[in-house]
A and B are shown apart, each in its own frame.
Chain A
Amino acid sequence: QVQLVESGGGLVKPGGSLRLSCAASGFIFSDYYMSWIRQAPGKGLEWVSYISSSSGYTNYADSVKGRFTISRDNAKNSLYLQVNSLRAEDTAVYYCARENSGSYYGMDVWGQGTTVTVSS
């Protein structure tokens, strides 16, 4: 079935780094834009970044620009988010999501999320 599974979250000190992964299955991964979205504890959804199907286009929220890098490996059906220079305010559940037709048709498949906690 169509599925996204995130991994790579954990507890990290301020200033630290992590690499989040999202494994896709059940669909042709290389046909779709993909996004990362995060949700801080008790807060709303915040879009973080997207990448085009062939990696030619990327975009980032201002809050993470210059610190986070999105990438993908279509041969491995995998999406990544390299998160550097982490701050307490980056603490959140990070979701990956499939974008149908570059988000015109919405983010129609979501993973279960991976938790990043930034604390000393």
Chain B
Amino acid sequence: DIQMTQSPSSLSASVGDRVTITCRASQTINNYLNWYQQKPGEAPKLLIYAASSLQSGVPSRFSGSGSGTDFTLTISSLQPEDFATYYCQQGFSARTFGQGTKVEIK
């Protein structure tokens, strides 16, 4: 089974900060990597698919990069509505989510 490891597990940041979250796969997954945002009490929302493609309607301050085993989600300028938990997910073999990264207000 493919394991997905996110880092950090949590971070504190201020509005306007650049935020980077990393996700590492236990084996190569090509670019079968997706990123989701989840706010308390809500279903997850797809942000990035195929490692670097922005889902329709998602602000351009979100971006993704990487291939193989190492991937990154970047928020270029953190906005108040971005405080949430972020998950990576691989779709190369079965499906696996990372453990999540909680982005909190500093």
Taken residue by residue from 25 to 47, chain B's Cβ proximity to chain A (1 for < 8 Å, 0 otherwise) reads as 00000001010101000011110
Interface residues on B, range: 20 to 34
Chain A interface category by residue count: 20 to 34
Check if B49 sits within 8 Å of A106, measured CB to CB. Answer: yes
A108 and B43 contact, CB distance less than 8 A: no
- Given contacts A104-B50, A108-B46, whether A59 and B94 have CB atoms under 8 Å apart is yes
**A111, B94: Cβ atoms under 8 Å?**
no
Task: Report chain A residues within 8 Å CB of B100.
Answer: 44-45
Interface flag for B68 (CB, 8 Å): no
A52 at the interface (CB under 8 A from B): no
Interface residues of A (CB under 8 A from B): 35, 37, 44-47, 50, 59, 61-62, 95, 99-100, 102-108, 110-113
Q: List 19 A-B contacts (CB under 8 A).
A: A37-B44, A44-B85, A44-B99, A44-B100, A45-B87, A62-B1, A95-B43, A103-B89, A104-B32, A105-B53, A106-B34, A106-B36, A107-B34, A107-B36, A107-B46, A107-B89, A108-B55, A110-B45, A113-B43
